[in-house]
A and B are shown apart, each in its own frame.
Chain A
Amino acid sequence: MKDKNEIDATGPRRDGDHHQEDRRLFLKQSLAMTGLTLTPFSFFNAEPDSYSVLAGNADRVDLSLTINGVKRRLSVDPRTTLLDLVREQLGLTGTKKGCDLGQCGACTVHVDGQRVLSCLSFAVMQQGRKITTIEGLSNGASLHPMQEAFIKHDGFQCGYCTPGQLMSAVSCIREGHANSEAEIREYMSGNLCRCGAYPNIVKAILAVKTSGQSV
């Protein structure tokens, strides 16, 4: 279990490492002891495939989930992200791909009511969950108060980050983090906007929050 190379590699070569190193060695010894006080887990030697819950093949996995109130039964490539599922397969292109690496917030959707990044989640991991995309934010023809506020306060220019900003803005209020301009700015910082609509977005969120409307 011990990596002896590691001890060599981190040997006490400079004064500053001594304290770290001494402690490491001490902890390694105590670790070795705790390692011995193992709880017996008899079940760990079961045959490898008895655990299988959802042993899909690498091509397709069945998936059922609810998107914007509609229950869907799908078959997906396990590699498909939630973002690519809604955009490429379901035609819900309101959710945007800005970076595909979880660094811009354009792909923000709600999963079971919580804002998350759909680009950093595989679709297959959403089994049984309720997804809300921008297309499901408004109630039929009438816009969500946050959508109204974005229009009124001009909280966008090109519109590409807007669905993500909106989904995040709604969560920001629901999470209780929209009590001041400063707090809104901090809790909305995961949503980049290159057009620079930030001040107007903050105004829109604050307006909805202070109006007391249900979000």
Chain B
Amino acid sequence: MANAHQNPAEPHPSLDRVDGRLKVTGAATYSAEYPFENLAHAVLITSTIAKGRIRTIDAKAAETAPGVLAVLSHMNSPGVPAYGSVKLPAERAPVGTAFRVFYDEFIYFSGQPVAMVVANTPEQARHAASLVHVDYESEKHQTDFEANLSKAAVATSVQRNKTSPFQDYDRGNPDAIYTAEVKIEATYTIPTQHHQPLEPHAIIAVWEADDKLTVYDKNQGVKSAQGNLAQAFKLPRENVKVNSKFIGGAFGSGIRVWPHTVAAVLAAQKVNRPVKLVLGRELMFTSVGYRPFTVQKIAIGATKDGQFTAITHEGTGQTSTYEEHLERTILATRAMYVCPNVSTRYRLLNLDVNTPTWMRGPGDATGMFALESALDELAFALSIDPLELRLRNHADSDPERHLPWSAKSLKDCYRIGAEQFGWKNRILEPQTMKADGMLVGYGMASSLYGFHRHPSKAKAVLLADGSVVVQSATMDIGPGTGTAMTQIAATMLGVNPKKIRFDLGDSGLPDAPGQNGSSTIPSVGSAVHAVCKALKIKLLTLAVAIPGSGFADVRPEDVTVKNGRLFPSADSSPGIAYTDILKHHKLTQVEVTEESKPGAERDQYSMYSFGCHFVEVHVSPVTGEVRVKRVVTCADVGKIINYKTARSQSIGGVVGGIGMALMEESAMDHRYGRYVTTDFASYHIPVHADIPQIDVFFVDQPDPYVNPIGSKGLGEIAIVGVAAAVANAVFHATGKRIRQLPITPDKLL
């Protein structure tokens, strides 16, 4: 068994984070931290009712309070050009309408922005905000998911799109479940959970000219934010600059441009000064999305020896009344295991709440909690080891698309994880293992996440001093994008990483996707790979032109690089320094830009990452408190670029999964349609004391088909399945199956 305090050795050395020094010295600059002369401070005022209209807004006292520059609302907003003007008589927004801030008097959810105070100092703005009085006309609201479940329906966007993956799905015989030899059926509930990155969302909006906007904004995609803002304010795209160089965590909360960002831009226009808006922690519950409340019913039928014969999976998620948020909840069930008869249904329930959004492992973290819990229930019913049950139903090819996997080493993950964890020491019967007066439980679960790769561009510039600047409008919300890209470039170019600078988080850089769906390494890593390759070829061409260089007739594929030098082959000649190539041609720099994009391989292979988690919990029989004592996690995400940061990302996913399993719940009082969890004292995320050492393993074999670097993403798969592994361990410890997260002490007493 692995020593829980020792991490496995690294097969190749990892670069320390390239921005580590900036982060440990406090010099890394996040969105709210850019200095501006004449900066004004904004504070949002949000609705206290869940549905109705604003009758009046009395801002007189606020407007005359010291330092106040403006009180903005739908009464006096300069208006967002893309919204158009309010048509009379005003009507509530139909489904499919993104929320329009300060547009009309309608209230769609409690916590909706209704006004904003702008003042000279933060203290003045906050005080003035408390002086604004909003009078509402309430209407009866519906926010209670479980009470309204019968109203759930197929999303209208799915009804319109016959090829939507969220259409009802039946593979084989949908009635096979009724005739299964052994069957389990259960309903699993996940409450609303929030991303709650440590950095609250923040923006500084600056109108450089009447038609030129710059924002320093917390988001996960500078290019999409740029596009969205340009569209909203009807500006040429190039007139909008988005700067998001350091992001203090997001986990999905920054994928969209949210209303508060637009509000700050409006305010900057109104007061004609740079405006800073930092969301208070309580607004982080209603302003930037959340993992939606979800109820899932799963039934699995199997033979007595544990071969699956039928699976049905029905999932219903929450959304707002004005937008439909769909996520993968039921999709993994079609691909994860071999089973001839599979049916899935996906429904949405519109409630008087704000729209949910993607949160780490969106849909899959939710769906795999249910599926992997249900498998554990079946294993118990069959008296089969849960790992053995998974091996018996392993899908050797994609059972949904009938395609080969591009690569799949899930069996290796199981083997490595089980060995390192000591799974063989698990006693099959629950409630049998004890230590120090605690009930001990071992649980495991599988993990998967779809492969996403988007077209990406990167630019590489070799400078006369031999240093290299690589640029792409990608992001780093924490995983260490710059570090991984530097490492790719260093390897490709044979340049010391210290001589490489990687620029990101700026909309002026070459096109790249936002950081979501575990797509950064697969997409941008491929672009960096491509641009470095192109730079190498360009250097070869330049070298060939140098008389006596020894590069004549050398094929690009034979060229090798090391220590900033180009060699005609792997084992010969002193080669030539990049700096000498430039010097000879009297160049101050060599610059190339490349785009890398996916091709037809997606139609030939099914592409996923796979993995598994093994968890030991101790449960107090006295109090019902659950403590995770150790975790072993193993993933197959293709080639690992940087072990150190990859391992940290996996650990982070496990920590997020522990929070999801044991403590995270955004509780709403449905009489008011309003959250009662509004801060870190009431919405618990794990603290140091909740987290043991976590052992991370990777299969680390390049996937030959996904992209030139053989790497898949890691961010999502790190959390998918963790909650199920914890819940399964709790069952093993206590004999109690908790199907409603989070597993708090009250549920186990």
* A residues whose Cβ falls under 8 Å from a Cβ of B: 59, 77, 79-80, 84, 87-88, 91-101, 103-104, 106, 133-135, 137-138, 143, 147, 150-152, 154, 156-163, 166, 181, 184-186, 188-202
Contacts and interface: CB of A to CB of B under 8 A. Distances in A.
The winner among B19, B20, B649 for most chain A CB atoms within 10 A is B20
B651 interface: yes
B435 interface: no
Contact of B648 (A100, A106, A188, A197): A197
Contacts of A198: 651, 655, 686-688, 691
Given A77-B123, A157-B652, A199 B16 contact: no
B393 interface: no
A185 B689 contact: yes
Nearest to B250: A158
A186 B196 CA distance: 22
Contacts of A59: 66
Contacts of B652: 157, 195-197
Cβ-closest 7 pairs across A and B: A94-B26, A196-B655, A160-B248, A159-B23, A196-B652, A158-B478, A157-B478
A156 B23 contact: yes
Contacts of A98: 198-200, 281, 680
A154 B694 CA distance: 14
B644 interface: yes
B645 interface: yes
A70 to B, nearest CB: 16
Given A159-B23, A163-B26, A185-B688, A100 B249 contact: no
A154 B650 CA distance: 13
Contacts of A194: 195-198, 249, 251, 656, 685
A139 B66 CA distance: 41
Interface in B683-714: 685-689, 691-694
Interface in B13-37: 16-17, 19-30, 32-33, 35
B258 to A, nearest CB: 18
Contact of B197 (A154, A160, A199): A160
Contact of A104 (B25, B680, B688, B694): B680
Determine chain B's interface SS by DSSP, over half rule.
loop
Interface string B54-68: 000000000000100
A92 B27 CA distance: 9
A196 B691 contact: yes
Interface in B637-666: 644-645, 647-649, 651-656
B249 A186 contact: no
A162 B123 contact: no
B90 interface: no
A26 B281 CA distance: 46
B687 A158 contact: no
A199 B689 contact: no
Contacts of A196: 651-656, 686, 691
A199 B17 contact: no
Given A98-B200, A103-B680, A159 B648 contact: no
B25 A135 contact: yes
Interface residues of B, number: 65
Contact of B24 (A143, A192, A199): A143
A157 B249 contact: yes
Given A133-B26, A134-B24, A162-B24, 5 more contacts: A100-B280, A135-B27, A159-B246, A181-B693, A197-B648
A152 B25 CA distance: 14
B386 interface: no
Given A106-B198, A157-B479, A157-B648, A91 B35 contact: yes
Contacts of A197: 648, 651-652
B412 interface: no
B200 A151 contact: no
Contacts of A192: 198, 680, 685, 687
Contact of B198 (A147, A186, A193, A199): A193
B121 interface: yes
Contacts of B200: 97-99
A94 B478 contact: no
A100 B281 contact: yes
A191 B66 CA distance: 36
Interface in B434-486: 476-480
Contacts of A190: 687
Contacts of A97: 32, 200, 278
12 contacts: A59-B66, A95-B26, A98-B281, A101-B679, A147-B24, A150-B20, A152-B16, A157-B645, A166-B24, A185-B689, A189-B687, A198-B686
Nearest to B5: A181
Contacts of B679: 99, 101, 103
A118 to B, nearest CB: 13
B88 interface: no
B651 A199 contact: yes
B199 A96 contact: yes
A158 B25 contact: no
B122 interface: yes
A195 B249 contact: yes
Contact of B688 (A157, A163, A184): A184
A98 B23 CA distance: 15
A96 B691 CA distance: 23
Contacts of A150: 20, 24
Given A99-B680, A192-B680, A134 B25 contact: yes
Given A88-B122, A194-B198, A195-B652, A151 B20 contact: yes
A92 to B, nearest CB: 7
A158 B196 contact: no
Contact of A157 (B28, B121, B649): B649
Contact of B247 (A143, A152, A158, A193): A158
A198 to B, nearest CB: 4
B501 to A, nearest CB: 18
Interface string B242-265: 000011110100000000000000
Nearest to B126: A79
Contacts of A184: 688
A91 B29 CA distance: 11
Which of B25, B197, B278, B645: most chain A CB closer than 10 A?
Answer: B25
B198 to A, nearest CB: 5
A138 B22 CA distance: 12
Contact of B19 (A91, A94, A159, A189): A159
Contacts of B480: 157
Given A94-B25, A101-B681, A135-B25, A189 B688 contact: yes
Contacts of B681: 101, 103
A154 B656 contact: no
A198 B198 CA distance: 14
Nearest to A92: B26
A115 to B, nearest CB: 14
A59 B65 CA distance: 13
A160 B479 CA distance: 13
Nearest to A58: B66
Given A99-B679, A196-B652, A156 B685 contact: no
A136 to B, nearest CB: 9
B648 A94 contact: no
Contacts of B246: 158-159
Given A101-B679, A101-B680, A157-B480, A199 B25 contact: no
Contacts of A159: 19, 22-24, 28, 246, 248, 478
B584 to A, nearest CB: 37
Contacts of B651: 196-200
